[in-house]
Structure 1
Amino acid sequence: MRVVVPFDARDPNTRLEPALDADERRALARAMLADVLAALRGTDRDLEVRVLATGPVDVDAAVTVDDRPLTPAVNATLAATEEPVAVVMADLPLATPEAVGRLLGPEPGGTDDPNEAAGVVLAPGLGGGTNALLARHPDFRVDYHGVSYRDHREAAAAVGAAVRTVDSFRLALDVDDPADLAEVLLHSEGEAAAWLREAGFAVSAADGQMRVERE
């Protein structure tokens, strides 16, 4: 199965600007990408993983450089094949092989595949986005603007594709805001969490509220 991991190699995670400068944001983005690639490698699936990057990036995976916005770049990949394609965002540092496996389903010919009847499988983000998906229907196309989880359900219905939603804590957190860094520190031991700790970030609690502080 082909898996595409979109990655902004130029100016990633701009909403983290209150906590990180541009070089730090790029370093954290690469660490999160490494966590996602490790989760994909850890599955028991035979996957053809390709990073779809806006510029050159040195990673342990095949890379296609496409400087178009996210939606047309991903749709070009979907249009190029009638085989199933999964799209997993690069800013999911809590992703695990087990969580990704729930999205992809077992190997073809396996038993009890809950995704088998679905033309589109969606893993929604906490803010209404789509953090990962599996497109089985050849006519399905993405639209990552606005509330994309709702829009993707509508797009699937428009082409007659049945939809299944994967309810996954590990795939629901995409790192957008400084507050999200606390979840990474609490729930991950991957490269992104290690980078944050080395950069001086830690979780604290005061007045019953969790926050991230930097030494």
Structure 2
Amino acid sequence: MRLLVPFAPDQPKTRLSPVLTPEERADFARVMCEDVLAAVRAVGHEPELLSTKPLDIDAPVTVDDRPLTDAVNAVLAATSEPVAVVMADLALATPGSLDRLLTMEGDVVLAPGRGGGTNAFVARHPEFRVDYHGASYLDHREAATAVGADVSVVDSHRLATDVDEPADLVEVLVHDDGRCRHWLREHGFRIERGNGRVNVTRVDG
């Protein structure tokens, strides 16, 4: 199985700009990516980074600066073996959650994200292609059906949680026990409880 982790080092995580500087966003995005790579290796697979630019990182790197849909479809079209794609911002991903994804039966296995996206998938059907615009999870179910592929779905909070916005940092501080949580705490982020909700705040020092 060929396992890809897409990553865009240029201006990463712009929706975190209210709470992180550009340099911090780049650093935090890389920490998340490296944690995903480590989790993939822990289940016995060698990840390959699909990057929009050359990158010095401990993994093979394929550079493709096209939009994500085009870059992933190029790999699907050129690869005869099964292909898995796991997004680089799944800060809560663990070896256990990835093992469920990679071992689940099905021509196409989807791990939906919150809000209708697709955070990871396994494609064993040679004609399956992706489209990451809009509600891609629904689109990918339809795309699989259109080529006669059966679909399995991984119901996983850890794989459903991608970190895009400040509110998502709550999930990292609550559920992660690795480098991402440590990075946030080193940079002053703390859980704030009040009004029946859990929020994240940043403290000086």
Q: What's the TM-score once normalised by structure 1's chain length?
A: 0.92
**Contact 1:54-1:67 at 8 Å conserved across structures:** yes
Structure having the higher helix fraction is 2
**CA distance in 2: counterparts of 1:9 and 1:191, whole angstroms:** 19
Please name the residue that 1:201 is paired with: 189
Please name the residue that 1:10 is paired with: 10
Q: 118, 125, 129: which one pairs with 1:141?
A: 129
**Contact 1:128-1:150 at 8 Å conserved across structures:** yes
Matched, 1:191 2:191: no
* Aligned residues between the structures: 203
RMSD: 0.9
Please name the residue that 1:66 is paired with: 64
Q: How does 1:173-184 map to 2 (within 5 A)?
A: 173-184=161-172
**Contact 1:34-1:191 at 8 Å conserved across structures:** no
Secondary structure at 2:137 match in 1 = helix
Runs of 4+ in 1 over 6 A off after TM superposition: none
Q: Give structure 1 stretches of 5+ with no counterpart.
A: 106-113
Q: How does 1:71-110 map to 2 (within 5 A)?
A: 71-105=69-103
**Contact 2:40-2:95 at 8 Å conserved across structures:** yes
**Contact 1:128-1:147 at 8 Å conserved across structures:** yes
Q: CA deviation at 1:71?
A: 0.4
State the identity as a percent. 62
Secondary structure at 2:4 match in 1 = strand
Q: After superposition, give the CA deviation of every residue in 1:28-85 in whole Å (9 maximum; x if it has no partner).
A: 1000001101110111x3x231000111222211111111110000111111112100
**CA distance in 2: counterparts of 1:57 and 1:93, whole angstroms:** 20
AA aligned to 1:34 is E
**CA distance in 1: counterparts of 2:56 and 2:189, whole angstroms:** 26
Q: Give structure 2 stretches of 5+ with no counterpart.
A: none
